[in-house]
Amino acid sequence: MTYMISPSLMCMNLIEIKSQLEVLDTRADFLHIDIMDGHYVKNITLSPFFIEQIRPHTNLKIDVHLMVEEPSDFIDAVANAGADYICPHAETINRDAFRIINQIRKHNKKVGVVLNPATPVEYIKHYIHLLDKITVMTVDPGYAGQPFIPEMLNKIQELAALKKEHGYNYLIEIDGSCNTKTFHDLLGAGAEVLIVGTSGLFNLDPNLAVAWDKMTANIRQAEQAA
């Protein structure tokens, strides 16, 4: 079973950002950065400036999740700051999805789209073939630490089946409550990228290297049970 790990930096200890980035840079596959505008969700987190500050200190691909009302207002800034993947919510782009996709492509960046729990795969059917990554929210967006929504396993399975049937190239990524309680079901459903936050990684141990080892042991145990 192949999977990749994308730590959510909004959950890291920002006081220890340099040392924590050094730990992640040799272990993770992506760095996940949430940008919230306080309107699409009632929270404000990281920013294009944050991307610009960490870009020189990591070789990992930076994956930006845009939880914003107007993604087009942010795309140029996050691209220029050093993002590798830019992923707006389908609910915010469907009135101009092809224009948004082209805006991201003009920067030679990978295109992702994020689906809220109540948003069906059908919603993106006309441009699913253009996507490099699809993120399934397994919690409602906006805050860390919410409970897993088990109905999303069917959505992951649907995306995995479509990918196999049509030869699509998108990665299937999971955002929300990826931890020891859910690893087995997520991987079994077809998840390929796991975004890990407080419960999956950062709260496992004050020493991030130790926490990482505990997380990977939890995932290995889930794989063996699959």
Q: Establish whether 73 is a catalytic residue.
A: no
Q: Is 82 annotated as a binding residue?
A: no
Count Cβ atoms within 10 A of the Cβ of residue 130 and give its class: 0-12 exposed, 13-18 middle, 19 or more buried: middle
Catalytic residue (choose from 34, 37, 63, 132)? 34
Q: Is 198 annotated as a binding residue?
A: yes
Q: Is 72 annotated as a binding residue?
A: no
Q: Is 175 annotated as a binding residue?
A: yes
Q: For residue 136, give every residue at least 6 positions away whose Cβ sits within 8 Å of its Cβ, in sequence order, or none.
A: 115, 152, 155, 156, 159, 172, 173, 174, 175, 191
CB atoms within 10 A of CB 102: 12
Q: Establish whether 29 is a catalytic residue.
A: no
Catalytic residue (choose from 140, 175, 205, 213)? 175
Distance CA(208)–CA(196), nearest Å, equals: 13
Q: Is 144 annotated as a binding residue?
A: yes
Q: Is 65 annotated as a binding residue?
A: yes
Q: Is 177 annotated as a binding residue?
A: yes
Q: Is 160 annotated as a binding residue?
A: no
CB atoms within 10 A of CB 226: 13
Q: Is 199 annotated as a binding residue?
A: yes
Which residue numbers belong to the known binding site?
32, 34, 65, 142-145, 175-177, 197-199
Q: Which residues are catalytic?
A: 34, 175
Annotated binding residues for a divalent metal cation, written as ranges, equal 32, 34, 65, 175
Residues annotated within a binding site for substrate:
65, 142-145, 175-177, 197-199
